[in-house]
């Protein structure tokens, strides 16, 4: 009996313990359910919505670029793409075989497509080809029943309607590389393009715009069911350049196949009206993707089509630099306009002999005569009297030896040599003979075509430090942000000295004794002034000089002289300054001056800078009489 009572008590205790444990567990479960369903209900509701609704970025339309008259030079066009949805086709390889009979699919493209199919989910579209021509789109659509899973999609791609004409200024857009990633999710969108060179790169952030968004409902597998909300992004800004597109195109056609560069500036405000580097390339190729053959043809071309020679090409300025040398000599007072130097065809310094381009010499030369006939001996002498430091200082005042910051990447500063520079760069002393060589624009001296145009503009406008301007305005949502007009400081050069230079430039072109007389403009009121230059690219041996130097046309292209010309027009009330550099073109008077003449005629005909061409013929002052009157 006692044993049964004890057994019953033990059973009751165990039952109570079991029930207590169950009660505790049930309470914990109820508490957890209360926590999840009541206290954390909003959080888990949000998570569930996030699983059901996806937010996707929408790329904005890239802003267009226009010329000074509003002509679009970089815009967007429809991009027809053919896509494949792998889950909608039983055999991807067979579908690609069928598509390959309609449009070309190279082995590399095929490998890339199969790789993307393996990496992505079966319902994610894979791009097969972009930038399809309309006939290709039509053929695919006609054969759609035999191409399961294949569809046509329409997007946007960058288009450069003038192709080669403005490639070095505009640059191009290309796919985002790993080094371009900054954390901006827009850069991670498939097919997104950013500016890689030129204006496209400089103004990339403004042109890029801001992304839109799309809210789509998806199922548990991530497949899109429907679009719930769509917010379009903000299109990129419109960038207006100072370029006159028609003058730009005329200039490139005028250069033809020459390896050359041309810059035309408005002498009053620095607007870059034309900047051409030849040969050029088609920037549309970088947008669609260059083949290996196309890329090799660009990088192996000895005339370097990918380099913007106008800002990156560095050349000895030759006789075009003589104007700076003459101004430095006049400012120092080592000569007057009436001072004469006798040219017998060479001058001597110690044991060295420095030759003039005219073998038997020019005879007695004053300042303007020496400029008109480009007498080297005259400039050897005045450079020796003036000294390299003063010549270098004058060159810097006219824009040499420093970047001009023209809103383009890749600009070179050039080089104005001095004794300090040579000691630091070459660990060698400066020699007097090197000053003579700089006096005719050669030696270590290096400039860019843009710097030559700036120098000429400063000569033409009376000595004001005009700087080049390529971007006129940036417009966003109808708000136009124009670059303010610059105020240009005076170079503080005596007007009579500037007049000597300009008179000499007039006679270089318009006097029968001038080196560019055959290239003069005969239209009244449109005459140009200028200065020719010819730069040796190889050393002429003593034997060659004694027996007669071979003519440029008889030499291999790489050994021919560079041809240069700088000038401005019209002579009265100047508005256009130009520099022309023809690599290995021979003489400046034969190769460069005719190009400059034709471009300045066209610029004035078009009124590219809004200039009013005077009807009167400018008075040409005879340099001999002018120097005697001084």
Does residue 616 have an active-site annotation? no
Angle at 490 (CA atoms; ends 487, 491), nearest 5 degrees:
135
Pairing of strands 212-218, 172-175: unpaired
Task: To the nearest 10°, report the CA torsion of 457, 311, 467, 581.
Answer: 0
Phi, psi of 513 (to 5 degrees): -85, -10
- Which single residue is written with the structure tokens 């104005």? 416
Q: Distance between CA 566 and CA 588 in Å, rounded?
A: 10
Which residues lie closer than 8 Å to 498 by C-beta, 6 or more apart? 327, 459, 462, 463
C-alpha 473/C-alpha 206 separation (Å) is: 12
Helices and strands of the chain, counted as H and E runs: 23, 21
Vertex 118: Cα angle to 114 and 123 (nearest 5): 100
CA dist 230 to 156, 237, 290, Å? 18, 22, 35
Using only the alpha carbons of the chain, give its radius of gyration.
36
Strands 65-66 and 238-241: parallel
From its phi and psi, is residue 374 left (phi > 0), alpha (psi between -120 and 50) or beta?
left
d(CA 30, CA 24): 10
Catalytic hit among 242, 280, 319, 511: 319
Distance from C-alpha of 306 to C-alpha of 603, rounded to nearest angstrom: 26
Encoded tokens for 584: 């290995």
DSSP state of 183: S
CA atoms within 13 A on the CB side of 236: 24
* 8 A C-beta contact, residue 533 and residue 441: yes
Residue 23 and residue 15 in contact, taking contact as beta carbons nearer than 8 Å: no
Q: Which residues are catalytic?
A: 319
């Amino acid at each position: 009996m006692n044993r049964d009572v004890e057994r019953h008590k033990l059973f009751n205790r165990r039952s109570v313990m079991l029930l207590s444990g169950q009660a505790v567990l049930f309470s914990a479960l109820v508490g957890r359910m209360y926590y999840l369903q009541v206290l954390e209900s909003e959080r888990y509701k949000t998570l569930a919505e996030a699983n059901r609704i996806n937010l996707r970025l929408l790329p904005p339309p890239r802003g267009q670029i226009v010329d000074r008259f509003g002509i679009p030079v970089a815009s967007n066009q429809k991009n027809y793409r053919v896509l494949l949805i792998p889950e909608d086709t039983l055999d991807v390889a067979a579908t690609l075989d069928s598509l390959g009979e309609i449009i070309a699919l190279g082995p590399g493209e095929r490998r890339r497509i199969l790789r993307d199919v393996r990496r992505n989910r079966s319902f994610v579209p894979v791009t097969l080809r972009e930038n399809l021509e309309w006939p290709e789109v039509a053929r695919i659509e006609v054969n759609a029943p035999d191409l399961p899973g294949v569809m046509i999609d329409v997007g946007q791609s960058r288009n450069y309607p003038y192709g080669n004409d403005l490639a070095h200024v505009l640059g191009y857009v290309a796919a985002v590389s790993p080094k371009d990633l900054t954390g901006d999710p827009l850069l991670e969108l498939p097919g997104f393009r950013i500016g890689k060179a030129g204006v496209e790169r400089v103004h990339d952030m403004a042109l890029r715009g801001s992304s839109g968004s799309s809210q789509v409902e998806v199922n548990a597998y991530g497949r899109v069911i429907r679009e719930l909300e769509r917010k379009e992004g903000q299109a990129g800004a419109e960038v207006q350049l100072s370029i006159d597109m028609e003058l730009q195109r005329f200039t490139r056609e005028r250069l033809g196949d020459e390896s050359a560069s041309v810059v035309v500036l408005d002498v009053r405000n620095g607007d870059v009206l034309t900047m051409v580097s030849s040969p050029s390339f088609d920037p549309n190729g970088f947008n669609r993707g260059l083949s290996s053959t196309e890329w090799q043809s660009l990088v192996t071309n000895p005339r370097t089509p990918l380099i913007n020679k106008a800002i990156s090409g560095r050349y000895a300025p030759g006789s075009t630099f003589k104007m700076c040398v003459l101004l430095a000599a006049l400012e120092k007072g080592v000569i007057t306009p009436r001072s004469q130097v006798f040219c017998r065809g060479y001058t001597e310094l110690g044991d060295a002999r420095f030759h003039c381009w005219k073998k038997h010499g020019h005879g007695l030369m004053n300042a303007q005569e020496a400029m008109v006939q480009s007498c080297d001996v005259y400039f050897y002498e005045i450079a020796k009297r003036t000294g390299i430091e003063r010549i270098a200082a004058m060159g810097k005042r006219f824009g040499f030896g420093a970047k001009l910051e023209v809103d383009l990447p890749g600009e070179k500063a050039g080089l104005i040599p001095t004794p300090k520079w040579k000691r630091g760069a070459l660990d060698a002393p400066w020699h007097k003979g090197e000053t003579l060589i700089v006096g005719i624009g050669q030696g270590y001296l290096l400039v860019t075509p843009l710097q030559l145009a700036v120098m000429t503009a400063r000569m033409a406008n009376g000595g004001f430090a005009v700087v080049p301007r390529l971007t006129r305005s940036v417009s966003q949502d109808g708000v136009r942000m124009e670059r303010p007009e610059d105020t240009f400081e005076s170079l503080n050069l005596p007007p009579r000295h500037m007049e000597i230079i300009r008179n000499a430039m007039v006679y270089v072109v318009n006097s029968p004794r001038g080196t560019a007389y055959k290239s003069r403009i005969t239209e009244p009121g449109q005459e140009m002034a200028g200065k020719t230059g010819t730069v040796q690219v190889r050393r002429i041996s003593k034997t060659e000089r004694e027996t007669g130097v071979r003519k440029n046309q008889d030499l291999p292209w790489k050994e021919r002289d560079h041809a240069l010309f700088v000038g401005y027009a019209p002579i009265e009330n100047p508005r256009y300054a130009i520099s022309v550099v023809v690599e290995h073109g021979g003489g400046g008077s034969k190769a460069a001056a005719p190009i400059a003449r034709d471009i300045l005629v066209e610029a004035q005909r078009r009124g590219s800078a809004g200039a009013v061409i005077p009807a009167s013929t400018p008075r040409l002052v005879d340099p001999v009489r002018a120097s005697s009157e001084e």
